Chain A
Amino acid sequence: MNVLFKDVSKHFGSIKALENLNFEVKTGDFVFIVGSSGAGKSTLLKMILSQYRPSTGEIYIDGHLLNFKNKHLIDKLRQNIGVIFQDYQLIADKTVEENIALALDINGFPSREIPQRVDKAIDQVFLQSRRHLFPAQLSGGELQRAALARALAIDPKLILADEPTGNLDPENSWNLIKLLKEINESRGTTIIMTTHNFDIVESLNKRKITMKNGTIVNDTIKKVVKKLKKKKIKK
């Protein structure tokens, strides 16, 4: 799934959350968005998810201009996006497996297929023993994994992960990253992930967009392109 931001700004009254963003994430890319708290990382993800509409500029998802009047288009786009929210956004009175099943039902998967997909997603995040528990009965790490399972179950074209390792211990953090990397490589799923964990960012050697005060201060794709151009010239 391709994401394109053209001169996008987002203002909340006098607060400028995002200012004149221009970037493109191509299908199959794995992109980290880093920056300090309040840099605008979560706002950016929320704009891709059409939770916020831009004050100015245009956002294209898979070539479709996000038109907030076209609710049907937005619903369809959201169905192709797996989201791991910073605050998990799991439904409190549904068990882990019910939360996952709901996402599958919303996506229109046939009823007979849902239990198998739920099982698979739960196995992927090693939550078998917690599948019948409610969110309030889970630890922070387990909640994060439940949210990941819900995102993975629908076979999304794009995964938006907002600080997914924030509540995980180092071992689980690496397991999650390995899983996301594997999905990105095997399925070609586009992944946009915000994080503070620089160890992970550096070790994966993927594209990194650095944000500060709502603007992009560094995008490693430009360096990669420059390196490629230099290689071509030398040849």
Chain B
Amino acid sequence: MNIYRNTWHHIRRSPFQSITAIVTMTLSFFALSTFAIVSNGMNSLLNYFETKPEITIFLKDGLDKSTIENLQTEISNYTSIKEIKFISKEKALTIYKEQNKNSPLLTEMVTASILPASFEVSVSDVKVLEQISQNFSAKKDQVDEIIYQKDIITSILSWTNIIRQIGIVTVTIFSGLTFLVVLVIIGMKITNRKEEINISRLLGASKDYVKAPFLIEGTIYGLVGGFLGPLVSLTLISIYKSQINQFFDPVLFISTDLQFILVIWLICEAAGVTIGYLSSWIGSNRYIKF
């Protein structure tokens, strides 16, 4: 019990050092949770585009049934194909009429013969779209046109990658910085309490006994930082959540899934405890040699 009292005593006796450690921890986990939430939003965005019919292959008029079947078989041979939908001329007309039912002028003159048949292909891996697009563009006698939301996907992909990279770099720098800050603070605290440690050792305290309050102290910094970081991040994001989600509508960019929030919190707590414990362990091993 005395170990916990000693730990509290250490924290209370040098409050500014303790606050510095907690603030640095909080900043790190604020960055980690913010990037996790943004990264999750980007994934939702990508997922939305990936689950839509990502590529539409318009066919030339006059193709016989076996040619169309061969083309469908060829598409289905690609990996990551989720769905292939054949839209016949008649079906295309029905869709067209449904889309323009409020504008009779637009539907009056249109017949099935002027609308092309097409394949709507959805995939689970956007990279496959590039291959399909390239290969079917070459079939000039069968394929009339290919509509492929390449630019949007490429843009989202590159943004996602950039955000992830910035996230990884920022979180790594902050984690390293936090590690060093806790290490230095624990080192300073040990130096300040050198006399107490020395006396305790002469009274028969083991090295583990004198190190324990410092290890618990580092772990507490990690626990508090790991709790506060995501709390600050989620609070700030919740303030702007409706505007952000409205901007990305119909995609739910900011997730309100409780499980997702809990996972972020748990990861931050686990990382906090690891960083706090490890840095204080190294610090105490380095400075307590007597």
Contact = CB atoms under 8 A, between A and B. Distances in A.
For chain A, which range describes its interface: under 10, 10 to 19, 20 to 34, or 35 or more residues?
20 to 34
A106 B200 contact: yes
Interface string A30-45: 0000000000000000
Contacts of B206: 71-72, 75
B125 interface: no
Contacts of A80: 204
A69 B9 CA distance: 32
Interface residues of B, number: 16
From B1, B199, B203, B207, residue with most partner A Cβ within 10 Å:
B203
Contacts of A81: 204
Interface in A171-224: none
Contacts of A79: 203-204
A101 B2 contact: yes
B202 interface: yes
Contact of B204 (A51, A78, A93, A94): A78
A106 B203 contact: yes
Contacts of A92: 195-196
B204 A75 contact: yes
Given A102-B2, A111-B1, A91 B205 contact: no
Interface in A88-122: 89-94, 101-103, 105-107, 111
A80 B196 CA distance: 19
Interface in A39-79: 49, 51, 71-72, 75-79
Nearest to A91: B196
Interface in A128-160: 150
From A78, A103, A105, A111, residue with most partner B Cβ within 10 Å:
A105
B127 interface: no
Interface of A: 49, 51, 71-72, 75-81, 83, 89-94, 101-103, 105-107, 111, 150
Given A83-B203, A91-B199, 4 more contacts: A78-B201, A105-B2, A106-B200, A107-B204
